[in-house]
């Protein structure tokens, strides 16, 4: 069987990454009659998970703009809409703008990439909920301060992920440094305590993940996290 593609000038208005992902979606669907996960797209195209999310949002808006006209381009690629609409709704508000937690996480990743985090995990561990909790804890006016503080004082952490960035122990230390709380330990002791508590936090996240896997209720982001833990050697490739 030979794959044929409907191409017109409008396709070339897409971001190159979005165009590449669209063609991959088409090829995958042609072969398997189903849509690939974002993790699969990332593995094959070598495009970061974060970039894929942005591309999916662009593709959703691109195809929806053709929906009423029922153009040949829309008919050719509209099969991806049910899949990418879920992603779009997860990150875009009803007024068409990115949700606040998405904007904040974008800023976090920009800062992370300036440091020695060259292989950022591509999963997003309950980022939306964690961001809203962080805002409640420190106030929206202190979010940028927290981002700058985290990468100034925690850049020694070899691993970076949302669970660690939003970890309660680090947030408490930040509040103490800003005078929200009274400091009761030295900076050296706080570092030792944090590193120990961070290990326990990762164990807790891993345990919850295995519970969700056992119950068969893992979503795409849980699967991404599971893949990360496999690479870290927390479980074998058969699990």
The pair phi, psi for residue 222, each rounded to 5°, is -65, -40
Give per-residue pLDDT as tens, 107-117. Answer: 888 888 787 65
Burial 55-66 (b: 16+ CB within 10 A, else e): bbbbbbebbeeb
What counts of helices (H) and strands (E) characterise the chain? 12, 0
- Radius of gyration of the chain, Cα coordinates, nearest whole angstrom: 21
CB atoms within 10 A of CB 123: 21
How far apart (Å, rounded) are the C-alpha atoms in residues 107 and 102?
9
**CB contact at 8 A, 150 and 174:** yes
Question: Which residues, in sequence order, are CB contacts of 135 under 8 Å at separation 6+?
Answer: 100, 143
Question: CA-CA distances (angstroms) from residue 46 to 20, 21, 41, 164, 234?
Answer: 11, 10, 8, 25, 24
How far apart are the C-alpha atoms of 8 and 91, rounded to whole Å?
29
Say yes or no to pLDDT of 217 above 50.
Answer: yes
Question: Cα angle vertex 239, ends 48, 50, to 5°?
Answer: 10
pLDDT at position 101: 82
pLDDT digits (tens, 9 = 90+) for 69-90: 567 788 888 889 988 888 888 8
**pLDDT: is 125 or 59 the higher one?**
59
Q: Determine the pLDDT at residue 20.
A: 92
**Model pLDDT for residues 169-203, shown as the tens digit of each residue:** 889 889 888 876 544 445 555 556 556 666 676 77
Which two tokens mark 158? Answer: 């070899």
Helix axes 127-138, 168-177, angle to 10 degrees: 30
Instruction: Answer whether 0.85 is exceeded by the pTM.
Output: no
């Amino acid at each position: 069987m030979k794959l044929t593609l409907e191409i017109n000038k409008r396709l070339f208005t897409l971001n190159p990454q979005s165009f590449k992902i669209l063609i991959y979606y088409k090829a995958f669907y042609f072969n398997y009659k189903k849509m690939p996960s974002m993790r699969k797209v990332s593995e094959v195209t070598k495009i970061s998970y974060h970039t894929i999310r942005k591309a999916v949002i662009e593709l959703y808006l691109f195809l929806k703009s053709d929906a009423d006209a029922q153009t040949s381009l829309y008919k050719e690629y509209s099969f991806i809409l049910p899949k990418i609409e879920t992603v779009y709704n997860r990150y875009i508000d009803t007024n068409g703008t990115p949700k606040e937690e998405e904007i904040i996480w974008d800023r976090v990743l920009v800062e992370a990439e300036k440091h020695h985090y060259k292989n950022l995990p591509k999963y997003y561990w309950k980022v939306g909920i964690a961001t809203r909790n962080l805002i409640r804890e420190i106030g929206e006016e202190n979010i940028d301060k927290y981002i700058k503080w985290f990468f100034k004082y925690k850049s020694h952490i070899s691993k970076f992920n949302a669970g660690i960035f939003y970890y309660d122990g680090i947030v408490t230390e930040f509040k103490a440094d800003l005078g929200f709380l009274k400091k009761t330990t030295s900076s050296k002791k706080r570092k030792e305590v944090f590193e120990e508590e961070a290990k326990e936090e990762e164990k807790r996240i891993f345990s919850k993940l295995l519970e969700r896997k056992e119950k068969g209720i893992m979503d795409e982001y849980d699967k991404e996290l599971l893949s990360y833990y496999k690479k870290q050697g927390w479980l074998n490739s058969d699990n």
